[in-house]
A and B are shown apart, each in its own frame.
Chain A
Amino acid sequence: MSSHPIEILRFNTCGSVDDGKSTLIGRLLFDSKNLMEDQIEALERSADITGGGQINLANLTDGLRAEREQGITIDVAYRYFATPRRKFIVADTPGHVQYTRNMFTGASMANLSVVLVDARQGVIEQTRRHSYIAALLRIPHVVFAVNKMDLVDWKEERFLEIRDDIEAFLPKLGVLKDVKFVPISALNGDNVVDESPQTPWYEGPTLLGHLEHVHIASDWDLTSFRMPVQWVNRPNNPKDYALHDFRGLSGQIARGIVKTGQQVMILPAGIKTTVKQIWTYDGPVGEAFAPQSVTLCLQHDIDVSRGDMIVGLETLPGMNTELHAHVCWMNQRPLQRGKKYFLKHTTQTVQAVVTSIENRINFQTFEPESEPSELHMNGIGEIRLRTSKPLIYDGYATNRFTGSFILIEQGSNQTVGAGMLFPPTEPVKPEYQDFAI
């Protein structure tokens, strides 16, 4: 079968309540012919009961009973569809202020964010908040879909006005590199999959056209090898004699490329050794790269366990117990200074205490407010932490996987915070020792 797409693009949709996120996803599925007859039948059934006969495309993603009753989306819903060019994983993330944490869930792995803006309302606090989060999460590509253009008579001036408003605050976010604007009507399908006759003044691609063609091959970080050790692979009494001394270190490569024969360092021990073999189920390979899951066999029998990191020597990560990070708070109980949390970073879980809350972001101005006493649900700010064991890390801006962590409340086991580390002030300086006896 050559008809199948070979690349996956993950994106999320965000915007305020009633901006039409679910309708947009429904429209993408419907117009790209990714809906099946029984799904359309189910839509029609619910339309007869609740919608006075009109199909409501939002019902496709609003899956839970409570959502249908209240007409809102209460959690992240994932959708899958494909076109001849690509496969898409879509996270539909709700727009209510109180559910900002879900945007983190939906967007943290995304290549691209679609931020919906209601053409009648223009930029509101939610637009700023979602743009800020997309920038903070370093989503590589962002599309502002100016929706409900039909309700402003498809006026180009209105579209340009909104674009100018957004472009006025984008520089404050700093890091958004690839930003596009598309005028659409999700309800009627204009510029979603098919080009709209209503916008002769718009020369860009349709939303789907952009999703199909945006360049994502370089979204993965192929510099500076890092592999957190996930699981030590040591066969118990293997029948195959050759495996008696097998000792593999399994993990998913977080950054970069590793090659057989390459020198690497094991942290936190700081010991240098060589990659003897890159073992996979399908046979050994000469090199492997992010985000592949592999098993490395090293030249020397070193004590390595889960939570350690195998790194390339070209640039070393930081290693510290004193950390500086942005955090998004996700729980009803606010972030408290001095309280102990579990912190999970790569494959290691340690204890952490928040030593100070430096600031909190005001989403009207994007200005940080200094030294708040607490950080409440959906608040984002800078904190300082101390951990019980050193983290081996890069700045989040450099790498999503070695620069991120979650905080877990002890006792309730709830995931209460998502953290993005500032770059280390200096790389780890181990007492360089080649493995030698």
Chain B
Amino acid sequence: MSSYHLDHLQYLETESIHIMREVAAEFERPTLLFSGGKDSICLLRLAEKAFRPSDIPMPFLNVDTGHHFPELNDFRDRRAAELGGKLIIRKVEDAISSGIAVPTPGEISRNRLQIPTLLAALEEFQFDCAIGGARRDEEKARAKERFFSFRDSFGQWDPKNQRPEIWNLYNARVNPGEHMRVFPLSNWTEMDIWEYIKHERLEVPTIYFSHKRQAVRRGGQWLPVTDILPPKEKEEVKDLVVRVRTIGDIISTGLVESPANTVDDIIAEIAAARVTERGSRADDKSSEAAMEDRKKQGYF
């Protein structure tokens, strides 16, 4: 292979940096959605690569459902501070009290309630663009989404009427009240993410690695026992050695039994995996079109 050749991570990296810089140059008030999860950790490194030695020219935004893993939030706050970035947090709890987000009777999951909370935050700060860490390999509806994904004034995605995206010429034009979601990691796979984490020696929250946790078996998955998710009567609580593969809310994130202690272990585990990453997310299983429906309403 000649020296003038990029390997797959270098290729994905240069594509993502180009997209990050287009956002900084084309939008007036962009933000970067940072949860502390593995994908958004890569996003931040790509932002460093795109903008250093300058400051990253946009604040970070996170919608806190109140059901986050505490390890994740600690990591999020620390990483944002290390990078000298401004971190804006908007809570579903507050959106419920102010009436912006209304739970249906008996609704425990905060998944749906993130949508109005996020849209209210975008409006509050007049953000015209939000960079997210979604990848097309995650899910069928995401597989059809553009890098620059237009949202109307209600925050809705219209999959049938997407702007054609040709070459690397991204159409970033929006009218007031509309916004763009931009996904620089669209072409990355779960494996690419971990290989990049390894290559860049990026720190990730400890829950991605093997640890002991109490869990109950529900709907074919192991869910962590917490105050929000106490065991039901007759339900057996097990002490397991687990890790998380993808992080959602603490009540819907399936734990994977795993001895993987290092990034290398995780890469080997994914290479041998027989189910997809989102196979461990209860929020996607509710129906064949679960993600499509949420995205249309303004989900990440």
Contacts and interface: CB of A to CB of B under 8 A. Distances in A.
Contacts of A173: none
Interface stretch (A156-164, A203-211, A406-414): A406-414
B169 A4 contact: no
Interface in B163-213: 163-169, 171, 173-175, 186-187, 189, 191, 195
B24 to A, nearest CB: 6
B274 A36 contact: yes
A234 interface: yes
A36 B279 CA distance: 9
B160 A217 contact: no
Contacts of A87: 8, 189
Nearest to A5: B8
Contacts of B189: 80, 82, 87
Contacts of A282: 49
B83 to A, nearest CB: 13
A293 B21 contact: yes
Contacts of B22: 230, 347
Nearest to A400: B167
Contacts of B260: none
Given A1-B267, A38-B276, A235-B54, A63 B171 contact: no
Contact of B18 (A101, A105, A230): A230
Describe A's contact surface by its main secondary structure.
mixed
Contacts of B48: 281
Interface string A387-419: 000000000000011001110100001110010
A76 B142 CA distance: 11
Nearest to A105: B164
B143 A404 contact: no
B167 A109 contact: yes
B6 interface: yes
B292 interface: yes
Contact of A233 (B51, B174, B195, B264): B51
B166 A404 contact: yes
B168 to A, nearest CB: 7
Interface stretch (B33-41, B92-100, B133-141, B227-235): B133-141
A80 B267 contact: no
Nearest to B276: A36
B268 interface: yes
A291 B4 CA distance: 10
A191 interface: no
Given A291-B14, A293-B17, A293-B50, A231 B167 contact: no
Interface residues of A, number: 79
A4 B164 contact: no
Contacts of A345: 169
A236 B54 contact: yes
A281 B16 CA distance: 14
B271 A3 contact: yes
Given A65-B289, A231-B25, A404-B169, A75 B51 contact: no
Interface residues of B, number: 65
B43 to A, nearest CB: 14
A257 B144 CA distance: 34
B46 to A, nearest CB: 9
A80 B191 CA distance: 11
A246 B34 CA distance: 28
A66 B292 CA distance: 11
A330 interface: yes
Interface in B123-153: 136-137, 139-141, 143-144
Contacts of A82: 189, 191
B53 A102 contact: no
A88 to B, nearest CB: 10
Given A64-B141, A231-B25, A75 B162 contact: yes
Given A64-B140, A78-B187, A233-B53, 7 more contacts: A37-B279, A64-B144, A68-B288, A222-B4, A293-B13, A345-B169, A418-B164
Interface string B7-23: 11011111101100110
A230 B186 CA distance: 21
Given A408-B171, A415-B164, A233 B54 contact: yes
Nearest to A107: B166
Contact of B171 (A77, A238, A413): A413
Interface string B99-123: 0000000000000000000000000
Given A235-B55, A293-B50, A8 B4 contact: no
Given A252-B14, A406-B166, A418-B166, A74 B49 contact: no
A362 B166 CA distance: 23
Contacts of A152: none
Contact of A404 (B12, B14, B159, B167): B167
B14 A4 contact: no
Nearest to A254: B168
B195 A4 contact: yes
Interface string A322-359: 00000000100000000000101101000000000000
B171 A415 contact: yes
B2 A217 contact: yes
A6 interface: yes
Given A8-B8, A105-B166, A413-B173, A39 B276 contact: yes
